[in-house]
């Protein structure tokens, strides 16, 4: 998935940025891909991909943890998928 060596070629043009108080957009499919592979990497002793395949709960929990960690850095995460009640509680 993606363009081979894209990050390697773009890195010389990049700069470190502090996202505190800024709006960021997270690519949904890229985010899902990242979380899925992060979960797969947590199972290094699996004998095959089927054994390492994470549950939906594990993927969901990892995604929420990642977003909460991002909030810990001062980035506001827009959560359009929450119900009105859940938005008031968070």
Average pLDDT over every residue of 35-58:
88
pLDDT in tens, 49-70: 788 889 999 999 999 999 989 8
> Looking at the predicted structure, is the pLDDT value of residue 16 above 90?
no
Whether 17 shows a pLDDT value over 90: the answer reads no
Predicted confidence (pLDDT) at residue 1 exceeds the cutoff of 70 = no
pTM higher than the cut 0.75: no
φ, ψ at 22 (rounded to 5°): -105, 155
Q: How confident is the model at residue 89 (pLDDT cuts 50, 70, 90)?
A: low
> Does residue 59 sit in helix, strand or coil?
helix
């Amino acid at each position: 998935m993606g363009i081979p060596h894209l990050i390697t070629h773009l890195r010389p043009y990049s700069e470190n940025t502090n996202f505190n108080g800024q709006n960021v957009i997270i690519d949904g499919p890229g985010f899902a891909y990242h979380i899925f592979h992060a979960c797969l990497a947590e199972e290094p002793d699996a004998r095959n991909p089927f054994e390492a395949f994470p549950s939906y709960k594990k993927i969901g929990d990892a995604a929420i943890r990642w977003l909460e960690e991002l909030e810990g850095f001062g980035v506001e995460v827009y959560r359009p998928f929450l119900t009105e009640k859940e938005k008031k509680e968070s």
